Amino acid sequence: MQHILGKEWTIASAGGSTGEAYYAQNQNKRLFLKRNSSPFLAVLSAQGIVPKLVWTKRLENGDVITAQEWLEGKALNPEEIQHPKVANLLSKIHHSTELLDMLTRMGKKPIDPSNMYKTLMQKLKMVTEDVMPLIVHQALNYLSHNMDELHQAKQMVCHCDLNHNNWMVSHSGQLYLIDWDNAEIGDPALDLGMLLHWYIPESDWDEWLDNYGIDNNVHLFIRMHWYMIMEKLKSYASNRVKKNEKEAAQQLQELERLLNRAISYKK
């Protein structure tokens, strides 16, 4: 990175699992650098969803370096996810035709719930041997029974990792959603269910969804819970593979609570 920017820049690792992100500073100029970011970044920047893209450079070896504004700010804490600004930005993302067009041009195909279900079944058969826990059977029945609900959903760009640490607010109050490495095309209920489940008290779901721009109806509720239950079963299977039996048992308890809420829906 040093030879790209010059000796007058101070460069430090920004951490992360890949080690491909850096902070760079030259007096009052500051940049966030990343190697081989997705081409998606330019569209996200143009729409104000991530900090501004300053420049892009292709190296002789084919690698692409992107430089974004390095802004002073902080990650949202879990309680701040309840703010209407979060609902507004997520709605803007989901309904952006520009983002959807770009992901489609990049070769992304919509998530296929049927394939998700088949893959899950194969994994569960590997880890549960002869006897599958009753709650797992019941959860699979819920997924199978409600599969048709998913095919009615309009396909949108989904972030798929709405951890509160990926929501950043600058000192000027601008909200951003970062870390788009897991983005997919799919049912927005995938994002909505995860965010509501982790961060929003159930008594506040209607208000949060109203800020997002939709009503909490039975079709949305079923679709959200379909993806929540799917993710919980995937986590259970992964913990069984890793022999993390304590965590697997915890997943079953959480699965039971999820399933009870899903089947007791009243509106």
Q: What is the pLDDT of residues 214-265, one digit of tens each?
A: 999 999 999 999 999 999 999 999 999 999 999 999 999 999 999 999 998 7
The CATH number that domain 2-70 falls under is: 3.30.200
In CATH, 78-263 is 3.30.40.10:
no
d(CA 76, CA 206): 21
pLDDT value for 87: 99
d(CA 173, CA 232): 34
Is residue 165 over pLDDT 70?
Answer: yes
Helices (H), 131-177: 134-145, 147-150
d(CA 61, CA 115): 37
Is residue 75 over pLDDT 90?
Answer: yes
Q: Is the dihedral of CA 183, 184, 185, 189 positive or negative?
A: negative
Is residue 136 over pLDDT 90?
Answer: yes
**Is residue 179 among the annotated active site residues?**
no
Domain ranges (residues) in the chain:
2-70, 78-263
pLDDT value for 152: 84
Q: How does pLDDT run across 11-34, given as a tens digit for each residue?
A: 888 865 555 888 898 888 889 898
Describe the strand order of the beta sheet including 29-35 as a list of residue ranges.
10-13, 21-26, 29-35, 64-69, 53-58
- Min mean pLDDT across 40-44, 129-133, 198-202, 241-245 is at 129-133
CB 76 within 8 A of CB 169: yes
* Helix/strand/coil for 265: coil
pLDDT value for 18: 52
| Residue 158 main-chain phi, psi, to 5 deg | -115, 135
Higher-scoring residue by pLDDT: 259, 57 = 259
pLDDT value for 20: 82
Q: How does pLDDT run across 86-108, given as a tens digit for each residue?
A: 999 999 999 999 999 999 999 99
State the pLDDT confidence band at 145, using cuts at 50, 70 and 90. Answer: very high
Tokens matching residue 40: 């998606």
Which position among 101, 112, 161, 206 bears the catalytic label? 161
- 39-67 average pLDDT score: 91
Nearest to 22 by CA among 37, 33, 35, 38: 33
Tokens matching residue 79: 């309680």
pLDDT value for 1: 67
State the pLDDT confidence band at 132, using cuts at 50, 70 and 90. Answer: confident
- Predicted TM-score (pTM) of this structure: 0.89
pLDDT value for 42: 92
In whole angstroms, what separates CA 86 from the centre of its chain? 13
State the pLDDT confidence band at 36, using cuts at 50, 70 and 90. Answer: confident
State the pLDDT confidence band at 4, using cuts at 50, 70 and 90. Answer: confident
Q: How does pLDDT run across 173-206, given as a tens digit for each residue?
A: 999 999 898 999 999 999 999 999 999 999 999 9
